[in-house]
Structure 1
Amino acid sequence: MKFDKELFLKIRETAINEQIKVLYVEDKEDVLLSTKELLSNFFEHLDTATDGFEGLEKFKQNPYDIIITDINLPKMDGLEMAKKIKEIDKKIPIIVITAFTKMEYLLESIKIGVYGYILKPIDMDQLLETLNRVVEKVYLRKERDRAVALLEQYKKIIDEGFTVTKTDPTGVITYANDKFCKISGYSREELIGKPHNIVRHPDMPKKAFKDLWNTIKAGKIWRGVVKNKTKDGKSFYVKATVAPIFDENGKIKEYIAVRENITDIVNPRKLIQDKIIEFSNPLLVLGAIEDFDDLENLYGESIIEELQEVFVKKAKSLFPPQCQMNLSFNMGDGRFAFIKDQTEKKEINEILYALKQFQENIRNTKFSVGEYEFELETVLSLATQKDHMFKNAELGLKKALKEKLDIVKGDGLYQTAIENAKKNIATLKMIKDAIKNDRIVSYFQPIYNNKTDIIEKYESLVRLIDKDGKVLSPFFFLNVAKIGKYYKQITRIVIKNAIETLKIMPNKEISINLSAVDIEDESIRNEIFAILENNPDISKKLVVELLEDEGINQLNVVKNFIKKLKGFGVKIAIDDFGSGYSNFSRLIEYEPDYIKIDASLIKDITTNKNNLHIVEAIRDFAKKQGYKTVAEYVSNEEIFRIVKELGIDYSQGYYISEPLPEPI
């Protein structure tokens, strides 16, 4: 059998790299064995079940990424099983492989949110295309989850490493992170709304603060050492960087101050940093006593402080002979550190083995403080590379504590975090510059009426023009924009551009895309309503396209928003209908004017009969409900001809026209 070998290898490589786990449910033994053999060419992690009930129970017990099922199953049919699985995890893609061709099964599959519908006997090209789409969806979901986790870590690195405050232009505190609250002794409620001199130490000369204030008011960054005081009057020193933050018009919006506590200039961390520089081949081990907070609560501060001193002193002698450490440090809060200069650098596996022995020795040792005896457990992080050694070891220890690991090798963790942060910062700078210089623009893609043979509508699509004049699609900047404050600004620009264009196009409709993030923001909703109230003629020419709603947290807010839009005469379109989760449920909830048939169904409609049948089903359903249909990705004459013959109301795609800087 001929098939696309390149596509096959792409699917297999992605499935293996992402360790994608698949559950295949089929009751007929011969079909089960043959299809399992076929699927095993793609997936290393493949489980099977022979009825719907067994499939559901296995799903409840295992984290599968993809479900593949027949419809006709004993105990519980495949569609009922799929429905119950979707109630547990609405995002999981489900593929139906069946001999049933009845329309009711297809419509029920769409209603449930089935991602693919493959008819028996299995066509290899159709299977490859379906698996490619679903594997790519799983990959993107995993990639998104990884990206979100990394970005949270970047923020956590900054928050845990430095004290951060923000003030308004008059110097009144508007934000303080946990670290600043802890070092100052004030609660967040005590700080917010107060002038920043609440922590000013009287020993600091007024001239220093005058210089600071004059520098940042002039739009420049101030750096220096500041002596502050805590709520109970104790002194602490910080190395501070204070910078102005500008709005899109270049006006100072607020100030941000980032500080490093340098009170104990010769604290253990400082001494360790010096030894890292001094040693030729340093080995750094950071550790933490497990359940330290519980010990502190149970025994009180004085006993636990003594326990830490006893532990660090005794623990140094518990390292095995091949890994004796030169220096030990009590870092406080149940943390400790050991460092040595290796006369000859050991293999990492040898070091890990020695550290496991050390942990075992700790377990078998009693640590005595007065009348109390303690049996302790530890988690460890090690670093062997001099560059950013302490930071890497710190991040490794945090990882060990968070993921409940015994030992973590920290080398490279900090460098990786910084590199990823740099890329995102560069993109954020590009977005900021584009907003400031009016280089966030709207392009307009025509939507063609297949019955009247004229262009009746346009979809507004955001673009960023970089400094070199290159036009970038949202793929290159929109997700990063969501990290900072710029995403909402971009949404506002797109809305403004659409409204201004509608004013000069009295007989055309323009659609704008709104995501859950946009709709759930009250300020954006109110701005849209204000625009519609002030421009009643425009309302009837505006179409709001609702994007994939897997991220919706406030469904009632979205439903009320749509209801109010319709009250103004605004039309509603559902984007990407026919693939992914929740399209059918959105129809029930939102009652749209237009259904935009997903590109994945249209682009292969000339060769893929399944896609053709699904589009026919969507067309029939839409006609019964009174919805207009729009075919996306109409890229050539043959697709255009089929779409017209099917009776789809509108066509959109590069065959009609690519997105243009201005409507034609």
Structure 2
Amino acid sequence: MEKGKDEVFDAKVLYVEDEEDIREGIMEMLSRKIRDLHVATNGLEGLETFQVIAPDIVITDIRMPRMSGIEMARAIKQLKPNVQIIVTSAYSDINYFIESIDIGINQYVLKPVTRERLFMAIEKAAHIVNLQKQVNYQMDTIFKLHSAIDQSQSVVVIADENGVIQYVNKRYEEVTGYTQEEAKKLGLKIFQLSGNLVDLEEELKAMIAQGKVWKREYQTLRKNGEKYWEYASITPIKNEQGETISFVKVAEDITELRKVSEALVVSEQKHRNMIENLGEGIGVLDLTYSFIFANPALKTIFEQNDLEDVCLTDFVEKQDILKLKEQARLLQKTEKFQMGLGITTPTGRRKNLNLTITPQYDLNVHAV
């Protein structure tokens, strides 16, 4: 079937023909339908041109000087086996037919070449070329995705519809100690959480049975029995009919992060206890001068059981607050300042305080 009148073939084509009258006539026909057309006048020139432009389709005569179309086709197929080759042949060239099959020539168009037969052959070749390009693109995409997953610093596990592990990346092997072959041979399941985690396993199975994503932080075991902490999400993958066909688990080994977090909690509690037991009043204010934290000594000074979210301006004369704000505005990043400040407690008692004020900044050097 011939393509539509205004359509063109999106393929690079090399046309090889030694007879000038035939070549000019076919070129005129091809140039209307082919966006990227190249021409050679004999087999040797055709081979040289092929090596330069790497066309998708080659259309060639058989009998030509210097190098025949058959010889050229053989050389081209050795360079690029998937190239589509269309041979234009007279009935008297039928003796070349067996050799053409052996070489892997894709199509024959008998002379005299008609527009309909030629474009039917080209359309078929172009369709195959496009399919090859799609397959190559998909294979390249799959390779890139596989490489990205395999080199990921996250644990990645893929299991079948029954949860049996089919693939693990290198990070999984590093974290768990199990190789992919061991995981598959042992029939490990994505639902199995090493250690005494029966309740979590039941929760996981219930969630994925409903087609939901399961996320959890838990302690589990490596192959050697060592405990470690993992944060994982397991996602069911469905087909177009909504049926679960596989599962994907993405996880992080958070053991070291947990250790750091726990150490920070211990350190914070240690410093908090130290501050709580100091005889001097210590407090933290936000930018609105409301208390975020106050130790017992400061609460005693202000005669308050709780100062959290209480504003300093409730105790201080307006002119003193303005003085405090102006002094803070003039500070450089690492500076602190001292000043006297008079307060009035809820019982009406007037107290004069000596303050040492140090501004705190976030990572973006914004006062907090």
Normalised by the length of structure 1, the TM-score is 0.31
1:103 correspondence with 2:100: no
Residue of structure 2 equivalent to 1:22: 13
Match of 2:173 among 177, 181, 185: 181
By how many angstroms is 1:78 displaced? 0.7
By how many angstroms is 1:94 displaced? 1.1
> 1: CA distance between counterparts of 2:185 and 2:97?
59
1:216 correspondence with 2:205: yes
Residue of structure 2 equivalent to 1:309: none
Match of 1:238 among 231, 234, 238: 231
> 2: CA distance between counterparts of 1:125 and 1:25?
19
Residue of structure 2 equivalent to 1:126: 117
Amino acid at match of 2:6: L
> 1: CA distance between counterparts of 2:20 and 2:54?
25
Residue of structure 1 equivalent to 2:252: 261
Asked if 1 retains the 8 angstrom alpha-carbon contact of 2:44 and 2:67, the reply is yes
After superposition, the Cα gap between the structure-2 partners of 1:190 and 1:104, relative to the gap in structure 1 and judged at 3 Å, is closer
Residue of structure 1 equivalent to 2:342: none
Amino acid at match of 1:57: E
Residue of structure 2 equivalent to 1:140: 131
By how many angstroms is 1:70 displaced? 1.0
- 3-state SS in 2 of match to 1:9: coil
Residue of structure 2 equivalent to 1:66: 57
After superposition, the Cα gap between the structure-2 partners of 1:174 and 1:89, relative to the gap in structure 1 and judged at 3 Å, is closer
CA-to-aligned-CA distance 1:415-449 (integer Å, 9 cap, x gap): xxxxxxxxxxxxxxxxxxxxxxxxxxxxxxxxxxx
Amino acid at match of 1:209: V
Residue of structure 1 equivalent to 2:156: 163
The unaligned stretches of length 5 or more in structure 2 are 259-368
CA-to-aligned-CA distance 1:168-197 (integer Å, 9 cap, x gap): 98x996653223123445544565556689
After superposition, the Cα gap between the structure-2 partners of 1:136 and 1:190, relative to the gap in structure 1 and judged at 3 Å, is closer
CA-to-aligned-CA distance 1:446-499 (integer Å, 9 cap, x gap): xxxxxxxxxxxxxxxxxxxxxxxxxxxxxxxxxxxxxxxxxxxxxxxxxxxxxx
> 1: CA distance between counterparts of 2:93 and 2:184?
64
Residue of structure 1 equivalent to 2:108: 117
Mapping for residues 573-592 of structure 1, pairs under 5 Å: none
| Structure with the greater alpha carbon radius of gyration | 2
Mapping for residues 514-529 of structure 1, pairs under 5 Å: none
Match of 2:72 among 81, 104, 112: 81
Residue of structure 1 equivalent to 2:355: none
CA RMSD of aligned residues (A): 4.5
1:54 correspondence with 2:38: no
Greater helix share, structure number: 1
> 1: CA distance between counterparts of 2:107 and 2:248?
52
Mapping for residues 46-445 of structure 1, pairs under 5 Å: 46-153=37-144, 160=152, 162-164=155-157, 166=159, 175-184=167-176, 187-188=179-180, 193=185, 206=196, 208-213=197-202, 216=205, 220=209, 223-228=215-220, 235-241=228-234, 258-261=249-252, 263=254
After superposition, the Cα gap between the structure-2 partners of 1:64 and 1:257, relative to the gap in structure 1 and judged at 3 Å, is closer
- 3-state SS in 2 of match to 1:258: strand
Asked if 2 retains the 8 angstrom alpha-carbon contact of 1:172 and 1:196, the reply is yes
Amino acid at match of 2:250: R
After superposition, the Cα gap between the structure-2 partners of 1:149 and 1:121, relative to the gap in structure 1 and judged at 3 Å, is same
After superposition, the Cα gap between the structure-2 partners of 1:243 and 1:35, relative to the gap in structure 1 and judged at 3 Å, is closer
By how many angstroms is 1:127 displaced? 1.9
CA-to-aligned-CA distance 1:327-386 (integer Å, 9 cap, x gap): xxxxxxxxxxxxxxxxxxxxxxxxxxxxxxxxxxxxxxxxxxxxxxxxxxxxxxxxxxxx
After superposition, the Cα gap between the structure-2 partners of 1:165 and 1:35, relative to the gap in structure 1 and judged at 3 Å, is closer
- 3-state SS in 1 of match to 2:34: coil
> 1: CA distance between counterparts of 2:198 and 2:157?
18
CA-to-aligned-CA distance 1:199-247 (integer Å, 9 cap, x gap): 9787xxx3x43341475399836542223466795844222327699xx
By how many angstroms is 1:71 displaced? 1.0
After superposition, the Cα gap between the structure-2 partners of 1:123 and 1:190, relative to the gap in structure 1 and judged at 3 Å, is closer
> 2: CA distance between counterparts of 1:255 and 1:103?
54
Asked if 2 retains the 8 angstrom alpha-carbon contact of 1:201 and 1:235, the reply is no
- Paired residues in the alignment total 246
Asked if 2 retains the 8 angstrom alpha-carbon contact of 1:86 and 1:112, the reply is yes
By how many angstroms is 1:76 displaced? 1.7
- 3-state SS in 2 of match to 1:259: strand
Mapping for residues 518-597 of structure 1, pairs under 5 Å: none
Identity across the alignment (%): 28
> 2: CA distance between counterparts of 1:144 and 1:244?
23
After superposition, the Cα gap between the structure-2 partners of 1:116 and 1:168, relative to the gap in structure 1 and judged at 3 Å, is closer
After superposition, the Cα gap between the structure-2 partners of 1:174 and 1:118, relative to the gap in structure 1 and judged at 3 Å, is closer
Asked if 2 retains the 8 angstrom alpha-carbon contact of 1:217 and 1:244, the reply is no
CA-to-aligned-CA distance 1:233-289 (integer Å, 9 cap, x gap): 5844222327699xxxx9x9x995602327359xxxxxxxxxxxxxxxxxxxxxxxx
CA-to-aligned-CA distance 1:64-116 (integer Å, 9 cap, x gap): 21011111111221122223323343332211224454432344434443333
By how many angstroms is 1:53 displaced? 2.5
Match of 1:7 among 4, 8, 14: 4
Asked if 2 retains the 8 angstrom alpha-carbon contact of 1:224 and 1:240, the reply is yes
After superposition, the Cα gap between the structure-2 partners of 1:118 and 1:144, relative to the gap in structure 1 and judged at 3 Å, is same
Asked if 2 retains the 8 angstrom alpha-carbon contact of 1:65 and 1:93, the reply is yes
> 1: CA distance between counterparts of 2:117 and 2:164?
63
Asked if 2 retains the 8 angstrom alpha-carbon contact of 1:27 and 1:50, the reply is yes
Amino acid at match of 2:172: F
After superposition, the Cα gap between the structure-2 partners of 1:259 and 1:218, relative to the gap in structure 1 and judged at 3 Å, is closer
By how many angstroms is 1:23 displaced? 1.6
> 1: CA distance between counterparts of 2:104 and 2:84?
8
After superposition, the Cα gap between the structure-2 partners of 1:164 and 1:126, relative to the gap in structure 1 and judged at 3 Å, is same
Mapping for residues 485-500 of structure 1, pairs under 5 Å: none
CA-to-aligned-CA distance 1:523-576 (integer Å, 9 cap, x gap): xxxxxxxxxxxxxxxxxxxxxxxxxxxxxxxxxxxxxxxxxxxxxxxxxxxxxx
CA-to-aligned-CA distance 1:597-630 (integer Å, 9 cap, x gap): xxxxxxxxxxxxxxxxxxxxxxxxxxxxxxxxxx
Asked if 2 retains the 8 angstrom alpha-carbon contact of 1:226 and 1:240, the reply is no
